């Protein structure tokens, strides 16, 4: 994990809260999106979904909103898996990632934000497309060790 810099490149020195979700089909496959040229960071890299928690939202409301925005389908099931403290030097950032497993209908999922993503792919968690986002390995580690994921299959 990269350490957060203590220099002046990060004017807002407070962590944000992000709801990170690994969408799955209930049969072992996960949904990844390739970040487009217009993505905030790491374009061309494969990642699961995420979005900022908005003031007054529950985690489940945020996940439902974000999954529906990104993949144009509502969650069928939402399971809290764990939390990650993400400190990144480039770009300088710090956020608390609340990680969820989200079952969705694979036939209904499609790109809802083409300015952020240019391709979706269902894959086995052990056979991921390359290159992957710098934070995907940490998120998938939380996903793999969760009892909720074992029950979903």
* Digit-coded pLDDT (tens) for 86-132: 998 887 889 999 999 999 999 999 999 999 999 999 999 999 999 99
pLDDT for 102: 98
CATH assignment of the domain containing 130? 3.90.79.10
Range of the domain at 130: 16-147
Inside any domain, residue 2: no
CA quadruple 97, 129, 78, 137: dihedral positive or negative?
Answer: negative
pTM exceeding the 0.85 threshold for the entire prediction? yes
* Digit-coded pLDDT (tens) for 37-78: 999 899 999 999 999 999 999 999 999 999 999 999 999 999
Q: Into how many domains does the chain fold? A: 1
Neighbours of 72 (CB within 10 A): 14
């Amino acid at each position: 994990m990269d350490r957060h810099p203590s220099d002046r490149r990060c004017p807002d020195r407070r962590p944000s809260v992000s709801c990170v979700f690994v969408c799955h089909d209930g049969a072992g496959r996960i949904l990844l999106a390739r970040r487009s040229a217009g993505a905030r960071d790491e374009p061309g890299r494969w990642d699961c979904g995420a979005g900022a928690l908005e003031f007054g939202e529950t985690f489940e409301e945020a996940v439902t909103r974000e999954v529906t925005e990104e993949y144009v389908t509502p969650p069928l099931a939402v399971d809290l898996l764990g939390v990650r403290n993400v400190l990144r030097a480039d770009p300088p950032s710090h956020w608390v990632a609340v990680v969820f497993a989200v079952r969705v209908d694979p036939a209904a999922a499609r790109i809802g934000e083409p300015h952020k993503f240019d391709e979706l792919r269902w894959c086995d968690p052990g056979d991921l497309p390359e290159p992957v986002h710098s934070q995907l390995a940490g998120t998938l580690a939380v996903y793999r060790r969760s009892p909720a994921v074992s029950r979903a299959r």
